Chain A
Amino acid sequence: MTQEQQREQFAFSGQGGEYFRIWIVNLCLSIVTLGIYSAWAKVRRLQYFYRHTSVAGASLDYHGDPIAILKGRILAVILFGGYSVMLNISPVAGLSVFALIMLVMPWLLVRSFRFQLHNTSYRGLRFAFHGKTGDAYVNFLLLPLVSYMSLGLLWPLAHQQITRYVRGNTSYGNGGFAFDGKPGDFYKPYLIVLGLTILGAAVAALAGFMLAMGYSFMVVGMAGIVIFYVCLLLMAIPYLTSRLQNMIWNHTTLGPIGFSSTLRASKLFDILFVNIVLIILTLGLFKPFADIRMARYRVEKLTLLATADLDAFVAQQQAETSAAGEEMADFFDMDIAA
């Protein structure tokens, strides 16, 4: 009955120097064409990262149509440009454009997810997104609004619902993804970060108080503790990112296939820190190398777990017969999701 679990690690074969050349040529062409080429550049960038990401002997691919991306970008420029111009003229006009953007955002996000997933393939089969627009309004507008009004206390719950909506509505071939993370799984990392932030602030305040009272013999010790807590706070972002990515993947399944992500906050912190320092020192020229470093770590810590025979399962997957794909071609890609 017990079956050997098959593990397939994701691999990333992109190289910083190679990507730098693609990045700079694309940047140059984008500037020369006043931004129009940026849509083609985005396709090449995604194709570079997707095709260098492989698992079980095959790589991902991206099929986005640059013209559709260009349309999405023009719409984004009109919406956000309109917002900033209006805000300069009158706050009322600015706020009404902002409200309009908020109202169409869930609809645009659904289009964006459909576009992105429909244009992602593995072994010649496309991914797909089936989320209903009505549910998108609940997940992308109502829940964030409610969590904003609860001063963020309900945000982990909203995050769980959004993740379940996005993952649960994603499919590969004729197999659907599922996500079974509970709200508690989201509350845990968020609450730990909140606790550390409060503790850090309290220690800093105490140190300031001691300093003001003239306890100079305490100062050195306290300064040490403050520095320790500042470092802990700097760890908050890598900590949250790694815990959330690990937890979300560990609760994601595709039929008999599971996933395991083993990012470590300290390693993520190292990568981020070096990236930021080198990007500043090189006035941004390190950016493509930084992107590769980050992608490699995030991709290579992901493993695919199959209880059934992976090849047999994959071979069963058939392209969906619906004509849905055809109508996707002219939907906007808004480039909202990371």
Chain B
Amino acid sequence: MTVTGSYFNGVSARRHTVSLSFRDGLLWLHGEEIERSASPGELKLPGHLGNTPRLILFADGARCEIADHAGFEQLLATAGIAPSLVGHLESRWHYALGALAVTLALVAATYYWGLPYAADKVAWRVPAPVMAMMDKQFMATFDHRLLEPSKLSRERQQVITSRLHKLRLPAGASQPTQVLFRSSPAVGPNAFALPGGTVVVLDEMIALSSDDDEILAVLAHEIGHVAERHALRQMLQASVVGLAMAWYVGDISSVLAAAPATLLETRYSRDFERRADTFGGNTLELNGISASRLADILEKIERAHSGSSHTGDSDAMDYLSTHPNTAARIRALRGKR
């Protein structure tokens, strides 16, 4: 049997029409001015790629293009050459659908388990000086844009800090690297933990609390974030999700990529909030304070924020946006009693 192809010698762009055949263990090309043979071992015979022409590549740069797929397959079969695996996978719809299922399963597994696991492992390997530098950087940015110096007296700050330092913590947990007091009418009642272990307390949150136990409750929650390096893990997870989204949707629009990425990241932060609540509740009970005190202050914070959100001045820092349903958290904490 013979198959027709276009032969190019790699030196000139002239096309030669040739007929191909397989004889005595050799592949033969016959045409006007062309008479060439080679054993399949000396040739590159790329597997098929969709409906693109099949190719025979010679070591000296010459090539032959064959449009007749069926004929060429048959010729290869007589020569005892098996079709390529990847080309085979790509040509069948059921393999493609299988690949789609495997891809979706892998992406989901990475999102639910792989990424949190990897971020946890990496977070514990970040050296302390780097973490300290990151917090310094964060504070410089926040102080510049969002935060004002605290109006709390030095004595009051010291009372809160020393009560915090006397707090007995669950085994394995450590105190925050530093506690900073700031004020921010724009952010409202809040406290947050930075990746490097710094905890920032806002005057507005202190003003909202009815006693020091409630302040300690919020701080215990934040120590929960520090103890499990939540902020650092969140940062790592968010940057991987952001990169993946940018790569997947990126060439359409970077704005389009940002929205789903943000949505996907909030699930992680909700998990972290729940864990910090559990940690905070346990810590409070360890110190003879009821876990429901954390629920009390959460309720107040929620009320303060839902009141202010109507004025439309709550920023991207909004406490509630990345937190799980507050009512559910309060129920969980009250249930501890």
Contact = CB atoms under 8 A, between A and B. Distances in A.
Interface in A172-214: 173
Contact of A315 (B12, B93, B95): B12
A25 B10 contact: no
Interface in A1-53: 13-15, 18-22, 24-29, 31-32, 44, 47-48, 51-52
B134 A89 contact: yes
B133 A51 contact: no
Given A21-B96, A89-B134, A90-B137, A284 B248 contact: yes
B134 A47 contact: no
Contact of A20 (B61, B63, B96, B235): B96
Contacts of B15: 57-58, 123
Interface in B10-29: 10-15
B13 A173 contact: yes
Interface in B51-67: 51-53, 55, 61-63, 65
A124 B55 CA distance: 11
- Most chain B CB within 10 A, of A31, A51, A315, is at A51
> What DSSP secondary structure best describes chain A's contact surface?
helix
B192 interface: no
B53 A59 contact: yes
A235 B106 CA distance: 38
Contacts of B133: 89-90
B134 A88 contact: yes
B91 interface: yes
Nearest to B133: A89
B130 A89 contact: yes
A322 to B, nearest CB: 14
A48 B52 contact: yes
Contacts of A173: 13
A123 B100 contact: no
A240 interface: no
Nearest to B260: A283
B249 A317 contact: no
Contacts, number: 119
A280 B252 CA distance: 10
Contact of A24 (B50, B99, B130, B137): B99
- Most chain A CB within 10 A, of B89, B130, B235, is at B89
Nearest to A121: B63
A338 to B, nearest CB: 9
Contacts of A27: 99, 103
Nearest to B62: A124
A51 B14 contact: no
Interface string A51-67: 11000011101000000
Interface of B: 6, 8-15, 49-53, 55, 61-63, 65, 86, 89-93, 95-96, 99-100, 102-103, 106-107, 130, 133-134, 137, 235, 239, 248-249, 252-253, 256
23 contacts: A14-B50, A21-B90, A21-B92, A21-B93, A24-B96, A25-B96, A28-B103, A28-B106, A29-B86, A31-B106, A51-B49, A52-B50, A57-B15, A61-B55, A61-B63, A89-B133, A122-B13, A123-B13, A124-B8, A124-B61, A124-B62, A125-B13, A276-B253
